[in-house]
Amino acid sequence: MTTRRARGEGGLHWDESRQRWIATVTVGYTPAGKRIVRKGSGKTKTEARTKLREKIRDYEDGLALVRDGHTVADALNDWLAYGLNRQSESTKANYATLVNSHIVSDLGARKLRDLTATDIDRWLMGKAQHLSTRTLRLLHSLLNRAVNRAMARDKVKRNVVALCAVPTGRGGRPSKSLTLDQAKALLVAAERSSLHAYIVVSLLTGARTEELRALTWAHVHLKGKPTNEPPLPPSIQVWRSVRADGDTKTRKSRRTLALPARCVTALATHHEDQGQPSADRLVFVSTAGTALDRHNVLRAFRPVVARAGLDPRDWTPRELRHSFVSLLSDSGVSIEQIADLCGHSGTTVTESVYRHQLRPVLLGGAVAMDRIFDAEA
């Protein structure tokens, strides 16, 4: 005689169309009184019951059931579409390119519920053969954020990406700086370029390219303010950048920089060439009169580098800032002063980012010994 199952044990039946055993159980009711049913299927009764027990355990643990068909590509596309509202359009485009080129192409078809930490480790190690450590960290971060979003929306139980460490990749492009002779040659070569004033200001003030591209004439004071107390020399106010929020990189980056005479001359000529533009106009614009982007700057910069006798493939506009640090350090300017001019919150950033450009000289011992032995002489 068949024994009746106890209340709460659920049901078990054969589904002819699917050719599988289906185990079902009611785990609760919605506020509207509708049953909350969980099902497990298998080729055998035991397999069906095992699947059902796993789903009941997940439910009791507060873990939502995963959509079987949700893939890594689905999670990434959802994050790109809805998770980047505060980012600039250029950042969104950059992230989309990285995601599609390096993550979707390798892991996109994988079901999110089946993704394992081993899959991530194997993928990262493969990428480490061709990509820099910095790019690997960014790819890991993008995938991690996408899976976090999927987990928050009940598409997966846990984030296995967070369990994986980023391996060391290929060495990145080493930073370098112009020598004094190279810097002089570059300034001469720039005189015939539309980028002349930009190069002069970047090299002689150390302002970031993102700061110069957002600079308006209202923040340029070519005559200074001699009647102020204390008098203000010719200067630029580095108060904005082309970042998404329009602010500078850090609070300390918001600064006013005195202009060397060569910068004043170059900017005055540039102002005349632009037809005495209004104060709200950008200082540096493209040949079409639109705002510069990094591609505009790089295209105009390369011919100048070539005329200076340097290889255009080896130099980028950001290295003008590195050269600024190197030239100041070579001339004996203290690291504290260089950090202030660069807009760094302290000398630690200056030392770590520009360590190859700094030429520290420890003078204390030599000065003391000269004083000691001069006294005995």
Both structure tokens of 229: 């107390």
Q: What whole-number distance in Å separates Cα of residue 256 and Cα of residue 261?
A: 16
Task: Specify the pTM.
Answer: 0.62
Distance CA(46)–CA(54), nearest Å, equals 12
Among 205, 204, 196, 319, which residue's Cα sits nearest to residue 253? 205
Range of the domain at 24: 14-60
Cα 259 from Cα 203, distance rounded (Å): 11
Q: Let me know whether 55 and 105 are in one domain.
A: no
Closest to 234 (Cα-Cα) out of 206, 204, 256: 256
Regarding whether 233 and 333 lie in a shared domain, the answer is: yes
pLDDT, tens digit only, all 377 positions of the chain: 555 555 545 688 888 888 888 888 887 777 777 887 888 888 898 888 888 887 777 666 555 445 567 899 999 999 999 998 878 788 888 999 999 999 999 999 999 888 999 999 999 999 999 998 989 999 999 999 999 999 888 888 889 999 999 999 887 677 788 888 999 999 999 998 889 999 999 999 888 888 899 999 999 998 887 777 777 888 888 888 877 667 777 777 788 888 888 999 999 999 999 988 898 999 998 888 888 888 889 999 999 999 999 999 889 999 998 888 888 888 777 778 777 777 776 766 566 655 555 555 445 555 566 665 565 54
Task: Examine the domain organization and report whether 25 and 143 are in the same domain.
Answer: no
**How many structural domains compose the chain?**
3
**Alpha helix ranges (H) inside the chain:** 45-60, 72-82, 89-98, 105-107, 117-127, 133-152, 180-190, 196-205, 209-212, 261-273, 294-307, 319-330, 335-342, 347-353, 364-376
> Does an H or E element contain 85, and which?
none
Residues assigned a catalytic role: 208, 249, 321, 344, 354
The verdict on 282 and 212 lying in the same domain is: yes
* CB atoms near residue 261 (< 10 Å): 9
CA–CA gap between residue 357 and residue 286 (Å, rounded): 31
Distances in whole angstroms, Cα of residue 128 to Cα of each of 108, 123, 143, 159, 170: 19, 9, 16, 21, 6
Tokens representing residue 199 in the block: 């190069």
Q: Are residues 231 and 141 in the same domain?
A: no
Tell me the per-residue pLDDT of 172-192, one tens digit each, with 9 for 90 and over.
677 788 888 999 999 999 998
Long-range pairs for 13-18: beta carbons < 8 A, 24 or more residues apart: 15/41
Residue 249 belongs to a domain with what CATH number? 1.10.443.10
* Residue 223 lies inside a defined structural domain of this protein: yes
201 and 314 share one domain:
yes
